[in-house]
Amino acid sequence: MKKQFQILVINPGSTSTKIGVFKNETETFNHSISHSVRELDAFSKMTDQYGYRSEIIQKTLLENGFALDSFDAVVGRGGLLKPIPGGTYHINQKMLDDLTEAKRGEHASNLGAMIANSLGNIANAPSFIVDPVVVDEMEPEARISGMPEIERRSIFHALNQRAVARKACQEIGKGYEDANLIVAHLGGGISIGCHSKGRVIDVNNAFNGDGPFSPERAGGLPTGQLAELCFSGKYTLPNIKSKLVGKGGLVAYLGSNNSLEIQKRIEKGDEEASLVYRAMGYQISKEIGACAAVLKGQVDAIIVSGGLSNDDMLMQQIRNHVRWISQIFIYPGEKEMEALADGALRILKGEEEVKIY
């Protein structure tokens, strides 16, 4: 009988922690633990929450009949680390130090490695993170912008992009390391990556503002007009920042980041909603076309994923614009928990070598 590995998956969000138990690829248990704002407010720094969250997770596992020492590995979502190549990483002291210092920003995902490490120690099992948002495999030509003081950076939905890329590779019967793929992650933020033979050689930076606008983010903007806005004296820096991330894109035009609600408005004949929503699909298509040029037209598949890919209307529009480039796979939703478990499983099975931070 093949060995069954039991893996604990930890995915911390701002006000909740999702946990999952996997037997190899199969999820046998999942639970989302909510944290009240009052409890979290007691900690001055986000990273101080890890002990508190770890304890609740232990309790939840015990209540549901899982002993910590039954796990072969604990895997947490990766955070804002230094730029690194993609893959599954051992959690080490250097990583924990960087996360504690939060040099590259505070984010709930920074807790993933800390919690996984502490639970891994108790369980006497290895702990990992997989494909954090800071995965950076960009080619030199992709890093250069038109202004020397501004470098193009790779920050994107690496975890889900890689997971759906591997899934498509299984369907087309090609190894991920042999394939050229364009992967579009369409969520609250949008990232579109050029995967060339296992490496993401270019991707729009969904966090720092380029590429298509998204439900909540402004994406790339006319630079001269943006500078004019900044110098107009009408806005503070935080004002402008929130326009770019959080209150940009669909929210700015339509007051909603909810695509279901917007679709309903379109069905009722709201022409502005229709135009803006189609403009988002138009920009997504253009970004996919830009990636096709990066890959010199040799594209094995285009993969569309994330919450917005549930929307048939949007998918049909994108299909119309880009289907001549390659075959299209649509994987709605986001499979972070599975992607984390799979990343750990590849190491346990010896299919991939673990990386050192």
Residues of this chain that bind other proteins (CB under 8 A): 140-150, 152-153, 205, 207-210, 212-214, 217-231, 237, 240-241, 243-245, 248-249, 252-253, 275-276, 278-279, 282, 285-294, 296-298, 320-325
> What is the Cα–Cα distance from 181 to 239, expressed in whole angstroms?
37
The smaller minimum CB distance to other proteins, of residues 33 and 102, is found at 102
The smaller minimum CB distance to other proteins, of residues 1 and 237, is found at 237
The smaller minimum CB distance to other proteins, of residues 90 and 307, is found at 307
The answer to whether residues 329 and 300 touch, using CB atoms and an 8 Å cutoff, is no
β partners of residue 1: none
Residue 233 carries which side chain, given as an amino acid letter? G
User: Cα angle at 19 between 28 and 165, to 5 degrees?
Assistant: 80
The smaller minimum CB distance to other proteins, of residues 61 and 276, is found at 276
β-strand pairing of 301-306 with 6-12? unpaired
The smaller minimum CB distance to other proteins, of residues 330 and 354, is found at 330
| Shortest Å distance, C-beta 294 to other proteins | 6
The smaller minimum CB distance to other proteins, of residues 108 and 291, is found at 291
Residue 70 carries which side chain, given as an amino acid letter? S
Q: Exposed, middle or buried by CB within 10 Å (0-12, 13-18, 19+), for 88?
A: buried
| Shortest Å distance, C-beta 38 to other proteins | 32
| Shortest Å distance, C-beta 46 to other proteins | 21
| Shortest Å distance, C-beta 273 to other proteins | 12
The answer to whether residues 280 and 250 touch, using CB atoms and an 8 Å cutoff, is yes
> What is the Cα–Cα distance from 6 to 22, expressed in whole angstroms?
6
| Shortest Å distance, C-beta 78 to other proteins | 21
The smaller minimum CB distance to other proteins, of residues 19 and 322, is found at 322
The answer to whether residues 166 and 25 touch, using CB atoms and an 8 Å cutoff, is no
The smaller minimum CB distance to other proteins, of residues 198 and 248, is found at 248
Q: How far is CA 129 from CA 91, 251, 277, 341, in A?
A: 7, 33, 35, 10
| Shortest Å distance, C-beta 193 to other proteins | 13
State whether the Cα torsion 322-325-198-154 is positive or negative: negative
| Shortest Å distance, C-beta 94 to other proteins | 27
The smaller minimum CB distance to other proteins, of residues 61 and 245, is found at 245
- For residue 220, what is the DSSP state? S
| Shortest Å distance, C-beta 208 to other proteins | 5
The smaller minimum CB distance to other proteins, of residues 41 and 231, is found at 231
| Shortest Å distance, C-beta 11 to other proteins | 26
The answer to whether residues 345 and 25 touch, using CB atoms and an 8 Å cutoff, is yes
| Shortest Å distance, C-beta 280 to other proteins | 8
State whether the Cα torsion 279-271-240-36 is positive or negative: negative
Residue 6 carries which side chain, given as an amino acid letter? Q
C-beta atoms surrounding 323 within 10 Å:
11
> What is the Cα–Cα distance from 20 to 42, expressed in whole angstroms?
26
State whether the Cα torsion 70-75-76-80 is positive or negative: positive
The answer to whether residues 22 and 345 touch, using CB atoms and an 8 Å cutoff, is yes
